[in-house]
Amino acid sequence: MGRALLFVSLLSVVNCVVGTEWIGEVKKEGNVTYQCKCYSDNACWPTGAEWTALNSTVGGALQLALPPGAVCHNKVGNLSVSTFNAAACADVKANWVNEQYLTDHPVANLWPLYTNNTCLPSDDPNAPCTRGFYGSYVIVAKTKDQIKAGVDFAREHNLRLIIRNTGHDFMGRSTGFGSLIINTHSFKEASFVKKYTGPGDWTGSAATVGAGVQGRELYRQAFAQSPKVVIVGGECPTVGWAGGYIQGGGHGPLTSIYGMGADNVLSFDAITAKGEYVTASANENPDLFWALKGGGPSTFAVVTSITVKTFPEVPVAGTIININSTHTNDTAVFNEGFRIFHNLANHYVDNGMFVYFELSTGRLHIAPFVGPNMDEAKLKVVLKPLFDQLNAAKIPYDAYTRAFPTFFEFYIDMFEDEQPNQNSVVGGRLFVQKDVAANGDKIAEALLFASAPTADTFGFSVGHIVNPGHGVPVADNAIHPKWRNASSFVITNVIMNGDESWEVKQDRNNVQTNIVGKALRAAGPNGATYVNEGDLHEPNWQESFWGSNYPKLLELRKKWDPEGVFYTQTTPGTEDWSVIDYGTKLCKKV
Ligand SMILES: Cc1cc2nc3c(=O)[nH]c(=O)nc-3n(C[C@H](O)[C@H](O)[C@H](O)COP(=O)(O)OP(=O)(O)OC[C@H]3O[C@@H](n4cnc5c(N)ncnc54)[C@H](O)[C@@H]3O)c2cc1C
Ligand SMILES: *[C@@H]1O[C@H](CO)[C@@H](O)[C@H](O)[C@H]1NC(C)=O
Ligand SMILES: *[C@@H]1O[C@H](CO)[C@@H](O)[C@H](O)[C@H]1NC(C)=O
Ligand SMILES: *[C@@H]1O[C@H](CO)[C@@H](O)[C@H](O)[C@H]1NC(C)=O
Ligand SMILES: *[C@@H]1O[C@H](CO)[C@@H](O)[C@H](O)[C@H]1NC(C)=O
Ligand SMILES: *[C@@H]1O[C@H](CO)[C@@H](O)[C@H](O)[C@H]1NC(C)=O
Ligand SMILES: *[C@@H]1O[C@H](CO)[C@@H](O)[C@H](O)[C@H]1NC(C)=O
Ligand SMILES: *[C@@H]1O[C@H](CO)[C@@H](O)[C@H](O)[C@H]1NC(C)=O
């Protein structure tokens, strides 16, 4: 009753005073006072009737947000729904490391550290399951109007809003405690034209890609065109293309010849924080157009579709190299092999190549070297300095090279799928050509160090040798200008179990930021970091993720999302916002 009365009185305030928000809780942490978003234990949380009204606005597309493992448990927290379903539970267990299965789920996040490792599949239906850092409700949107309704509801009720496309994000940015989630995964449409006639100078071929289209399905559709075309996308088959990927910049196997994903965008269709439908292109809302091209995901608008340049297919040759315990157990020999490989990074990118590699103690898996516009003979010539140096140093390895008539056939054959549901704290660094040339040995040493940074931690690194500045017309967009000088971008992981205490988790964050990260920064002082695959605790993240573009991004954030409807950590304009109370409530300093 009291709650209903409060609701009525607040509603009248909202009705009378334009712009007045639902007031969240005031909380103190140390000497800082915060004003929080509204959560289910606050009076300002929407009533059941309001949720029902939202559900009717979105035509029944509102669901309770339930972790993927909920079907293995009788109950989720204190929710009054029974969730156990033996068949569904068997299914989720069988698919726990299947990326496509998880990306198709309404809310699953693929890296469970960011869900608090909550409600894992279990053999015991009575084992407790809570929602952890998952949201409260999800709109599984199929229309733009449903997205708009979600944005409006979150803004009007001061709720934490999460845009969730694939749930792939390494930094957990598509999950959030107590939030309203909008799932964009169903926006699967893609259409292709041979001649683009919209705003801007481009007159070549193009595609319009829905927000939910994933990497490999986009490549596949491009390949099905006549003539066949390619699009700059990522390396992973199931990462979304028009969601976080483009809004963070987007590197990929064709970046060294065709630029970053965000270099090739011609226009966006989006819904703003105010709930307005907008187009952002060279002609309309050019400032938003610029910001959405690399200025940070879930920051300026919800993107519903993107029109992008497509390019002619290219023949590609690839090489895979392994050095591991099959070849040597001698650490010095292994390390020298890695040093030789990585010190040639500038050489690879100067030849228009991209190289994907994995590094951990005693294991180097380079899979693959990507040689666009190369046949087997040409790629072997380009890689000759590498083989010569490895042979001269008596480093054992194995290598094989293959050529394909098209990028797509190459991609399907030589790239591998990853395994989700692993736990790690992520960081990384973009090393520029100058640092690789001057300081290559130190960079290699820092990367080797990241494999075992302390006595009780292990690392796993994923490297991308890439340069979107090589022979590519440079686009004006929000990505860090240092990308144009890139040579090697490496993600470092501090491996976790996921069930560590809060204190140990903080310690692992510290290892990533202040031990591994410190070594990377010292080795690559002129480098930068990448907002999509970076450290949530990166020092000076504004400068590190965006460099000289940051001040303009900050200004545009204030213009396009003045109230803070969107939030993901370390994106422009989030300086005053923090997730407090052990990873739960999103609050703003007052
Ligand atoms: C295995 C793996 C491989 C990867 N490979 C590459 C790579 O080759 N190149 C590369 O550049 N990056 C790569 N990434 C990083 C990738 O770009 C980011 O994880 C990106 O955020 C994923 O976007 P998503 O939309 O698929 O994911 P989600 O987790 O669903 O969303 C990520 C972020 O984007 C926001 N978002 C999603 N959709 C929208 C939308 N429509 N409008 C506004 N905001 C939205 C979310 O709110 C969240 O903040 C890889 C990641 C993984 C896990
Ligand atoms: C708040 O506390 C922190 C340490 O807890 C201290 O460094 C800072 O100076 C304090 N700020 C104010 C305004 O008292
Ligand atoms: C369920 O738990 C939440 C969070 O602890 C609490 O706010 C809410 O009142 C509880 N609901 C019921 C029906 O007990
Ligand atoms: C929303 O409405 C649909 C259709 O009536 C219903 O199946 C669903 O359970 C409702 N969602 C919630 C959260 O009540
Ligand atoms: C996160 O997990 C820890 C350890 O199990 C638990 O104490 C804490 O309550 C959890 N937080 C949430 C929001 O579920
Ligand atoms: C080591 O290299 C061999 C190829 O020589 C490969 O078959 C094997 O899978 C590699 N081992 C690891 C752990 O990567
Ligand atoms: C390295 O050690 C492993 C485990 O002892 C062994 O199986 C392998 O043969 C060794 N490799 C070499 C090259 O000696
Ligand atoms: C960085 O790249 C830009 C653009 O390609 C170029 O003009 C500049 O000289 C490069 N700087 C360095 C230090 O290599």
CATH number at residue 286: 3.30.465.10
Same domain, 282 and 361: no
Cα-to-centroid distance, 118 and ligand 5 (Å): 8
Which of 324, 325, 334, 361 to probe ligand 7 with, by most ligand atoms within 8 A of CB?
Answer: 325
pLDDT in tens, the chain (590 residues): 233 333 333 333 332 233 345 688 999 988 999 999 999 999 999 999 999 999 999 999 999 999 999 999 999 999 999 999 999 999 999 999 999 999 999 999 999 999 999 999 999 999 999 999 999 999 999 999 999 999 999 999 999 999 999 999 999 999 999 999 999 999 999 999 999 999 999 999 999 999 999 999 999 999 999 999 999 999 999 999 999 999 999 999 999 999 999 999 999 999 999 999 999 999 999 999 999 999 999 999 999 999 999 999 999 999 999 999 999 999 999 999 999 999 999 999 999 999 999 999 999 999 999 999 999 999 999 999 999 999 999 999 999 999 999 999 999 999 998 889 999 999 999 999 999 999 999 999 999 999 999 999 999 999 999 999 776 767 899 999 999 999 999 999 999 999 999 999 999 999 999 999 999 999 999 999 999 999 999 999 999 999 999 999 999 999 999 999 999 999 999 999 999 999 999 999 99
Which of 107, 163, 218, 535 to probe ligand 1 with, by most ligand atoms within 8 A of CB?
Answer: 163
Tell me the one-letter amino acid at 37: K
Q: Are 246 and 293 in contact (CB under 8 A)?
A: yes
Same domain, 216 and 324: no
> Strand 424-432 and strand 363-372: pairing?
unpaired
Q: Is 266 a member of any domain?
A: yes
Q: Is 520 a member of any domain?
A: yes
Residue nearest ligand 8's atom 10 by CA? 485
Cα-to-centroid distance, 62 and ligand 4 (Å): 6
Q: How many domains does the chain have?
A: 3
Residue nearest ligand 3's atom 11 by CA? 78
Cis link prior to 199 (omega < 30° from 0)?
A: no
Question: Residue 156: which residues within 8 A CB-CB, separation 6 or more?
Answer: 14, 21, 22
CA distance 64 to 179: 11
β-sheet bridge partners, residue 29: 32
Buried b (16+ CB within 10 A) or exposed e, 124-162: ebeeebbbbbbbbbbbbbbebebbbbbbbbbbebbbbbb
Tell me the one-letter amino acid at 330: D
Question: Residue 501: which residues within 8 A CB-CB, separation 6 or more?
Answer: none
Which of 107, 165, 421, 560 to probe ligand 1 with, by most ligand atoms within 8 A of CB?
Answer: 165
**In sequence order, what E strands does 433-531 have?**
459-465, 486-495
Helix, strand or coil, per DSSP, at residue 99: helix
Cis link prior to 368 (omega < 30° from 0)?
A: yes
State if residue 569 touches ligand 6 by the CB under 6 angstroms criterion.
no
Which ligand lies nearest to the CA atom of residue 131 in the structure?
5
Cα-to-centroid distance, 398 and ligand 6 (Å): 9
323 DSSP assignment: E
Helix, strand or coil, per DSSP, at residue 371: strand
Q: Are 290 and 258 in contact (CB under 8 A)?
A: no
Cis link prior to 253 (omega < 30° from 0)?
A: no
Domain holding 520, by residue range, is: 316-546
Same domain, 377 and 249: no
Residues in the chain: 590
Same domain, 228 and 96: no
Which ligand lies nearest to the CA atom of residue 106 in the structure?
1
Q: Is 276 a member of any domain?
A: yes
What are φ and ψ of residue 206, in 5° steps?
A: -155, 165
Last residue of one domain, picked from the residues 294, 312, 330? 312
Which ligand lies nearest to the CA atom of residue 140 in the structure?
4
Closest CA to 34 of 580, 583, 584, 582: 580
Cα-to-centroid distance, 148 and ligand 3 (Å): 28
Q: Are 165 and 212 in contact (CB under 8 A)?
A: yes
Tokens of 524: 């690559």
Question: Residue 221: which residues within 8 A CB-CB, separation 6 or more?
Answer: 190, 192, 207
Question: Residue 392: which residues within 8 A CB-CB, separation 6 or more?
Answer: none
Tell me the one-letter amino acid at 129: C
Closest CA to 430 of 519, 511, 544, 317: 544
Same domain, 530 and 498: yes
> Strand 277-281 and strand 354-360: pairing?
unpaired
Q: How far is CA 203 from CA 231, 268, 285, 381, 457, in A?
A: 16, 17, 21, 35, 52
CA distance 549 to 411: 33
CA distance 416 to 400: 15
State if residue 48 touches ligand 2 by the CB under 6 angstroms criterion.
no
State the number of CA atoms in the 13 A half-sphere of 27 facing the CB: 19
Q: Is 227 a member of any domain?
A: yes
State if residue 225 touches ligand 5 by the CB under 6 angstroms criterion.
no
Q: Check residue 471 and give its pLDDT.
A: 67
Atom number, ligand 4, closest to the C-alpha of residue 137: 13
Same domain, 87 and 12: yes
Tokens of 129: 């399951």
Same domain, 162 and 209: no
Which ligand lies nearest to the CA atom of residue 177 in the structure?
5
Q: Check residue 8 and give its pLDDT.
A: 34
Query: For residues 358, 360, 361 and 367, what is the CA-based torsion angle, rounded to 10 degrees?
Result: -10
CA distance 126 to 391: 59
Q: Is 304 a member of any domain?
A: yes
53 DSSP assignment: H
Tokens of 291: 């910001």
Atom number, ligand 1, closest to the C-alpha of residue 420: 1
Q: Check residue 418 and give its pLDDT.
A: 85
State if residue 358 touches ligand 6 by the CB under 6 angstroms criterion.
no
Which of 179, 245, 258, 480 to probe ligand 1 with, by most ligand atoms within 8 A of CB?
Answer: 245
Same domain, 170 and 300: no
Q: Is 579 a member of any domain?
A: no
Residue nearest ligand 3's atom 2 by CA? 78
> Strand 190-193 and strand 180-183: pairing?
unpaired
> Strand 180-183 and strand 137-140: pairing?
parallel
- Tens digit of pLDDT for each residue in 383-397? 999 999 999 999 999
Which of 582, 584, 585, 586 to probe ligand 5 with, by most ligand atoms within 8 A of CB?
Answer: 582
Helix, strand or coil, per DSSP, at residue 291: helix
Same domain, 296 and 402: no
Atom number, ligand 2, closest to the C-alpha of residue 31: 1
Atom number, ligand 1, closest to the C-alpha of residue 236: 3
CATH number at residue 92: 3.30.43.10
Q: Is 407 a member of any domain?
A: yes
Q: Is 341 a member of any domain?
A: yes
State if residue 329 touches ligand 7 by the CB under 6 angstroms criterion.
yes
Cα-to-centroid distance, 234 and ligand 1 (Å): 10
Same domain, 242 and 342: no
State if residue 63 touches ligand 4 by the CB under 6 angstroms criterion.
yes
Same domain, 361 and 495: yes
β-sheet bridge partners, residue 206: 193, 309
CATH number at residue 370: 3.40.462.20
Q: Check residue 355 and give its pLDDT.
A: 98
Last residue of one domain, picked from the residues 312, 345, 371? 312
Same domain, 409 and 488: yes
Cα-to-centroid distance, 159 and ligand 2 (Å): 29
Which of 78, 116, 499 to probe ligand 5 with, by most ligand atoms within 8 A of CB?
Answer: 116
DSSP string for 221-256: HHHTSSS-EE----SSTTSBSTTHHHHH----TTHH
CA distance 168 to 422: 12
State if residue 365 touches ligand 6 by the CB under 6 angstroms criterion.
yes
